[in-house]
Amino acid sequence: MNHDAVRTLLTLSAAGLLDPEAERQVREHARTCADCTAELACLGQLAVGLSTLPAPPPPLNLVARTQARIAADGDRREAWRLSIAASICAATLAVAACLQLQPYLGSLIWIAFAVIPSLLGAGAALTLASRRHLERSLL
């Protein structure tokens, strides 16, 4: 491998990204080329410097805030799921009850049984979600 070809590979060599054969050729050339040896040493120092750069310290409570955000997100999703489940259950119950009672009470039963269970279900889900939220905030 000639000097110019090796020159283009020096950065990759310093980064440890050459395959063994190319790395061997670079080393072989560098043994007889003062310029490439110096450049390789310089790039090597650069690579070492990069791997030991001072790291920015994370904020002290980053982990706790992350956990709290994940918990809050989980609560929101759970409350949403509960609300949907409660609504479906309530609606199913209301329809079934209305079908049974319609011959006795007429169309009024449809209104009463559609509204009451839905309100109860949604209220229960909201209460549960707010209680969990309160519990998290107390931790």
Q: How far is the CB of 28 from other proteins (least distance, A)?
A: 14
- Tell me the per-residue interface mask from 75 to 114 with other proteins, x by CB under 8 A, - otherwise: ----------------------------------------
> Of the two residues 32 and 51, which places its CB atom closer to other proteins in the complex?
51
Nearer to other proteins, 3 or 77 (CB): 77
- Residue from 3, 24, 65, 81 that binds other proteins (CB under 8 A)? 65
Shortest reach from residue 112's CB to other proteins, in Å? 40
96 HSE (CA, 13 A, CB side): 7
The CB-of-80 to other proteins minimum distance in angstroms stands at 13
Quickly count: other Cβ atoms within 10 Å of residue 117's Cβ. 20
Q: Give CA separation, 121 vs 1, 20, 38, 132, in Å.
A: 78, 68, 76, 17
Angle (CA) 62-66-67 rounded to 5° is: 120
Q: Dihedrals φ, ψ of 61, to 5°?
A: -100, 25
CA 119 to chain centre: 35
Binding positions for other proteins, rule: CB under 8 A? 11-17, 23, 40, 42-59, 62-63, 65-67, 69-71, 73-74
